[in-house]
Each structure stands twice: as structure tokens, then as C-alpha cells.
Amino acid sequence: MPAIERFAKYLSENRLKMTRERRAILADVLSVRGHFDVDDLLARLRRSGHHVSRATLYRTLPRLVESGLIHKVEMVDGQARYELMIGRHHHDHMVCLRCGTILEFESPEVERIQEDVCRRKKFVMTGHTHQIRGYCVSCAGDDRARALDSRGSNVAGRSRAGAGGARAGGRTGP
């Protein structure tokens, strides 16, 4: 089912309407490659002539997540990034604490271990989020980053992600 129909069905099932603003948000989300945040999306919408409020965006993104069209990635700095899930399957993330780069990875071994732990604990897993925090290859050699992290400083709060680190145009891994 095409994304627009899938979202319209979700909205209808929840007694909501497919508004012009929601349609514009969905269209823009469908064109994004990689991870994006609210500011990225709002700027893209405004550049393309859509006058969508920040509040509408904040109300619509959870609906897109609930519909399964996008996935929310919680970042260590408290901000969220999102990614389109159409045509994609489950994967996990490595997040650079210094620059905010998000690298995606898949590991059947990690998935098997999680399932085994759930089975042993008699726990019914409905989903999971696996995020490894550390330093990307560009930042790993930076002694300052490792020194700050070893002292317990909040390196994520100093990340450049808020200034464009792992945004729609940022690296998102293979």
C-alpha cells in the first residue's frame, strides 16, 4: 500500500483527517534520505513554500511513528531524530557522542542473543531499540573527546549535531 494511503488509513482509524499540512509533512518525509530532526524538516517545508507550524509538526511526527512509516531515534543529547522506514527492515544505531553522526548496522547475532535472553527470562518482546554510543572514526582519534568522556562530562551536550551533525545530509552508514 502506498505511504499516502497507509497514513490516510491510519488517520481514519484514529478519527483524524488527512489535512493539507499532514500531506505536506508526509511528502517531505518521503523525500528525505537518512536521519532528520524537527528543525531539518521544518526548514525544508518552509523552503518549499509550506506554512506548517512547529506545533503541527510535533503533533504529526508521533502519528507517522505510530503508523509505522517512520522510526524515532532517541539521541543522548535529548533530541530525537527520525528516519523513513518504508522499504527498510529493522536495524540498530551507533551514535557518535562528539559529532552526532549516526551509523546504522545489522547483526543477526545481536538479534539472536536478545531473543535468547527474552526466552530464558520468559519475557515477550514486542520490539527493541539498540543504540551504541561512542566515537566515529573521525572523532575517535581526538584525545580531547576521550579525555572529556573519561571524566564523565556530557560530551553529547557539546555535540555539533545541533549545528548540522547527522542531519538529512549527514552520514548514516551503509
Q: Above pLDDT 70, what percent of the chain?
A: 81
What is the residue-averaged pLDDT of the chain? 80
- Render pLDDT for 100-140 as a digit per residue (tens, 0 to 9): 888 878 888 988 998 999 999 999 988 777 788 899 988 88
Backbone angles phi, psi at 142, to 5 degrees: -85, 105
CB 52 within 8 A of CB 25: yes
* C-alpha to C-alpha distance for 32 and 69, rounded to whole angstroms: 12
Q: What is the pLDDT of residue 84?
A: 87
- Where do the domains of the chain lie, and which CATH numbers do they carry? 3-163 (1.10.10.10)
Going by pLDDT thresholds of 50, 70 and 90, the confidence category of residue 149 is: low
Point out the least confidently predicted range of 8-17, 80-89, 121-130, 140-149.
Answer: 140-149
Lowest average pLDDT, out of 79-83, 116-120, 139-143, goes to 139-143
Indicate yes or no: pTM above 0.85.
no
Pairing of strands 92-96, 80-84: unpaired
